[in-house]
Structure 1
């Protein structure tokens, strides 16, 4: 029953997407343009995530360098930064999924339309363009998914830190978190670097689509 419910939900989502694409095409807004827009939105979400992870790291550094004041206030900010980072990561994943959804719809439509050609030369040229576009898209999506995957260890470590501090808000706990800081710093640097690569791949893909 659970599997059946999931299949019904997926079928409904696909139907909604198809209805959306059809409605947009009626006003002259085609899948190709929707794809470019969604890639740009995915880029923006990655840039926001880069800034958010950096902010969370800086706040944790402030905590590890704590030198007087209200520890509770500092912890509250660390916790808030973790929640914001988690939300930013979720947005990145959602945007990538939206990109992949319209891309698959575009490629399916493109493939189907190849059979409508009367001209063999034009058909061959369009087929080659489809193949090239798929390859460029695959490279971009791979970079996006790799950056997405690298967010998980960062979020896990941020969560570990805020959970530990929640129940051990003292100088000893801060020292323990401080020992983990260099590893977190490297993980944040890695995810920011990979997101920059994904954004660069997106720029190349967008340029090829215009």
Structure 2
């Protein structure tokens, strides 16, 4: 099933990946609510004007895809877009739901080690460590926040990469091969908010 989606990304370094994500959605791209290559340039507009336009794009969506790129924290908008996606916003007699939110990690310098490294635990299981210095607090605080935690391995306290966090991180290559799997996962979690400790503030 297709869901209305919004893509949050840093234009100067992730525009090409944004276009590939939209392309990977194929027929479901018609449900995409965010910017495209044909969107008008708003760089000369006021902050309030841009916020109102972004609110209009995000309000009716169900899933927000966040492109995790090396300079994401230099964006003026991404943490605000995540916050708006997570909050329930009332307009007239309608209230938006909390979006499912998914992070797609950009491949950089040939891999993903700039953000995530794999380690082998004492029991032989492999887990991933994330360098949080690249991430906004609103991303960090919505990871590993399943309640109660369901450990994949009780001994090494590892959790499932998709179910263990409300905001899961997925490498761009994995997402582009099967976008529906990850979008469905994000949407499903948005219908099980009581299973996660959601942080809706920056």
User: TM-score, normalising length from structure 1?
Assistant: 0.21
Higher strand share: 2
Q: Kindly name which structure, 1 or 2, has the bigger radius of gyration based on alpha carbons.
A: 1
User: TM-score, normalising length from structure 2?
Assistant: 0.21
